[in-house]
Chain A
């Protein structure tokens, strides 16, 4: 039987029960019919057991050995024998070595030396002249090797120094970057503080503004209560805007509201109280009632909700107003763009 039909690896797998069925059957047959294979199998089995006993098996082979091979009581017995045999072989080898040393120390010493790696040079077994030449050659070789080692060592030292310098430079740069980063963090923190302060100030001013607006609104309401259709007195110091509140003209009432406009007034601000409507926007026109002439037109306005109803706020140049009767005509504009007159606000101007 040719040994090519199997190899150590296949035999080991066969012993561990991990060969495919057909392949295992082929080796089964060989184990009967081929003496050479039978011997190889037995040797391989002993080597496998020894490898397990000496802890040389690992991974899948070790697992398979434990799970499959040790399943058989006969083979467990073989493993026990191998364990004992291992101890016996080691003890015997040690005892044999001691015996040799005791019988002939010099020979034992030589034998130890020869069995060492240095024996590979064959220095101690060649004739003397050859020994001398050999020694000289070895010394020369050692000298060259030593020189080369010194050179390499120097080169390595240089490389080490360069690497150390580079490492120091990198360390320094790292520290600088760290400091820079810290600085930026400080600036960032200061900026954040400043931003927070500005936001706080803005909030405070906003509150103040709202408070003042509320006060102004309150004042306006109070004033309107006191003089519902009257003029608004201008603040002292020649303020250029005069504010008025006009109510819609009631049918059947011919009374016209009178407003007093100071001579230095530049703008007249009117607040028109609307009757309930649902127009999306309004337009207001200032009409000279005597000449039926439109003096001023507003852009589209949105009504503001106030209390029970809505108001429109307008403002135009006071120069348009002369001491006579005017009408502010309000037109409502619906969502589809259609418009209609929703009310007239006549008033008489008196110049102060």
Chain B
């Protein structure tokens, strides 16, 4: 992290991390799932703000929360998710100020500007190779899915426009769930596939 001022006199200890996990789990042992979920939301938040390093900012936010817990004890006034959001806002503001000071914003802009061409370039240069690799990984990852999940996601995304909507409606009726529940289910299967493909492409 370059743009955010670090509290260098404090480091995350295993004890502080444990307190953070407990606090995020709100008294239940989530085996770190609550931490992963809140971190995922933090990364998504900073990414939606077009911050160049959303993972770093998410970790910085969680570090600050852990430090506050370590130094001042458990805060009862806010729910963990909301408290993390408030801290994330501070981190984001500091990031913006730091970016302005160090002209990092210009770097951001430079990074943002050629995005269309980056995508286009990757399409033309090694885009085909990446796509091919992704397709192979998709086949692999989809093969690892439960047959029911595999069928669900294939049928969920089959067809276009009106036909696609009709397919989804029929699928929801078959599964005896609402359209909303179906979309959440398909979304989770797709996330799982996406994670798998990312690992697969990175590993190859």
A and B form one complex: yes
Interface of B is mostly: helix
| Chain A contacts for B35, CB-based, 8 A | none
Nearest-neighbour CB distance to chain B for A42, whole angstroms, equals 6
Q: Per a CB cutoff under 8 Å, which of A32, A74, A92 touches B142?
A: A92
- Report whether A46 and B190 are in contact in the complex, using a CB–CB cutoff of 8 Å: yes
Decide if A171 is an interface residue (CB 8 Å cutoff).
no
Distance of A87 Cα from B131 Cα, bound (Å)? 10
| Chain A contacts for B135, CB-based, 8 A | 84, 87-88
Q: How many A-B residue pairs have CB under 8 A?
A: 102
Nearest-neighbour CB distance to chain A for B44, whole angstroms, equals 7
Binds A, one of B12-20, B64-72, B113-121: B113-121
- Report whether A89 and B154 are in contact in the complex, using a CB–CB cutoff of 8 Å: yes
Of A43, A54, A77, most B-chain CB atoms within 10 Å: A43
Interface size class on chain B is 35 or more
Binds A, one of B3-11, B80-88, B96-104: B80-88
| Chain B contacts for A93, CB-based, 8 A | 154-155, 157-159
A33-B82, A78-B194 known; A56+B161 contact, CB < 8 A: yes
| Chain B contacts for A85, CB-based, 8 A | 138, 157, 190, 193
- Report whether A39 and B85 are in contact in the complex, using a CB–CB cutoff of 8 Å: no
| Chain A contacts for B153, CB-based, 8 A | 89
Closest to A92 in B: B154
A38-B41, A71-B115 known; A89+B157 contact, CB < 8 A: yes
Q: Per a CB cutoff under 8 Å, which of B50, B89, B130, B187 touches A43?
A: B187
Interface size class on chain A is 35 or more
Q: Per a CB cutoff under 8 Å, which of B84, B112, B142, B197 touches A81?
A: B197
Closest to A56 in B: B161
Distance of A50 Cα from B158 Cα, bound (Å)? 12
Q: A85-B190, A85-B193 are in contact. List 11 more A-B contacts (CB 8 A).
A: A28-B48, A32-B85, A43-B183, A43-B187, A72-B50, A80-B122, A80-B130, A83-B131, A90-B158, A92-B154, A93-B154
21 contacts between A and B (CB under 8 A): A14-B48, A28-B85, A28-B89, A29-B85, A31-B41, A32-B41, A32-B84, A42-B187, A46-B190, A68-B50, A71-B50, A71-B112, A75-B47, A80-B119, A83-B131, A85-B138, A88-B138, A89-B158, A93-B159, A96-B151, A96-B154
Which chain B residues have a beta carbon within 8 Å of chain A's beta carbons?
38, 41, 43-45, 47-48, 50, 54, 79, 81-82, 84-85, 88-89, 111-112, 115-116, 118-119, 122, 130-131, 134-135, 138-139, 142, 151, 153-155, 157-161, 183-184, 187, 190-191, 193-194, 197-198
